[in-house]
Amino acid sequence: MPHIQINDVYKQLFADGRLRQDVRYFIVYGGRRSGKSHDVGQILDITAASEPGHFIPLIRKVGATVKDSIYSQHTGFFNRNNIRVDQNKTDKEIGLPNGSRFRGFGLDDEMKIRSLVGATKIEIDEANELSENEFDSLDAGLSPGNYNGQIFLLFNPIAQIPGSMHWLQRRFLQVPHELSKAVIFDTPTGKALVLRTWYKDNAFCPEASRKVLEGYKETNPEKYKLWALGEFTKMEGCVFTKWDIVSKVPDEMIHTDIGVGLDFGFSNDPSAAGRVWVREATREIWFKELVYKTDLFNDVLYSELKNAGVTEYEEVTADCARPDIIGDLYRLGLMGIKGVQKKANYKEDVATRLQGYTIHVIEGSTNMVREISTYAWARDKNGNQMPKLQDGDDHLLDCLIMKMHEHTGQVNILDVDWS
């Protein structure tokens, strides 16, 4: 067996030296950098390797997001530990010598979802993206004969919409539970285990990430509750309140996008890209996340953009602070790329104008949902809101702002009542 390192907090999922057998639903959620996806993934990998004949579907809301997230996490485990497995990247399948296997699925592919027959355990990443009906459909179909059927729901809390409660909260999180302490309780369809974790539970959390998360305690207490403590909370001073999640762009608009926004990153910050559609008659915007990854060299970034559907001559508006990267991408074949024409306070100006639109985020744009739900105005030392955006997790929003800066022109923030 491989040598693995599982944080102590996640060992609460074990009993008698193996994965607990008395629980059907494992709800593991919490703050960023808590290690939950990594450690729960390792637990399932070890379970599949030590017990023959498991079939473990790896589920995301949108199939296009599976390969670079939940599937690559599991292949990475077997590769790091030199465990011989068969990998089919096309079908996102992993086959173990003992007959156990994993396979990645998106709920947007009805034909492939029919292949869940025989599943023994189901791992759902970003479970908050699913509707309750989608979860119920997966749950009802899980009835293996050789093992106890179990479902793992992993997610980060999202900012609450006033007057509403996410179905995961209503269904599984009403039982009292403390940070880092698992609680097991009965539900009408089986026992559930709830575990909320945070970055201090992760012995491998980078020091730089710890400092960022701890800094929010002073600069943005609501974001600290959401991202550090892993609590569902209502964000104060959010820039955007008129937004939702939709399944697709309207058919009549699919070929009328205004182009792609591109924000550069590398190690700690991701490179991000998104496509934007605008319908001025109804003051609506549609946004689709295309790329969101760290550690992308310029040639790899170019390949990611091409694979995401960015064509040779279409208009790509990029961060003008990196003319070297813009030049490299142009030489590689991105002939429509150009730098955004910035001015002082241009982000605040455009964000203010965007408040007059309804922003529709396309399903699967997980990182955009997180960014837009927590994007807030900065506050002074007395807690008063200022006409300045709080810097931080806004890479895809930068993509949107760059495109809309070109599309809408300019507006002076000092002339707008943003209170």
pLDDT at 415: 39
Q: If you compute the radius of gyration of the chain from its CA atoms, what whole number of angstroms results? A: 22
User: How far is it, in rounded angstroms, from Cα 226 to Cα 234?
Assistant: 9
pLDDT category of residue 274 using cuts at 50, 70 and 90? very high
Q: Are strands 18-19 and 121-125 parallel, antiparallel or unpaired?
A: unpaired
pLDDT at 241: 84
DSSP state of 346: H
Q: Are 147 and 20 in contact (CB under 8 A)?
A: no
Q: Are strands 377-379 and 316-318 parallel, antiparallel or unpaired?
A: unpaired
pLDDT category of residue 312 using cuts at 50, 70 and 90? very high
For the beta carbon of residue 350, count every other beta carbon within 10 angstroms. 23
DSSP state of 71: I
* Full-model pTM: 0.75
User: How far is it, in rounded angstroms, from Cα 98 to Cα 286?
Assistant: 46
Q: Tens of pLDDT along 219-271? A: 778 889 999 999 988 777 788 888 988 889 999 999 999 999 999 987 678 99
Query: How distant is the alpha carbon of residue 304 from its chain centre?
Result: 18
pLDDT category of residue 416 using cuts at 50, 70 and 90? very low
pLDDT category of residue 381 using cuts at 50, 70 and 90? low
User: How far is it, in rounded angstroms, from Cα 76 to Cα 176?
Assistant: 35
In the numeric block, which tokens belong to residue 310? Answer: 């960015």
Reduce the secondary structure of 11-41 to three states and give it as a string: HHHEECCEECCCCCEEEEEECCCCCHHHHHH
pLDDT at 366: 85
List phi, psi (to 5°) of 155: -170, 160
User: How far is it, in rounded angstroms, from Cα 83 to Cα 411?
Assistant: 58
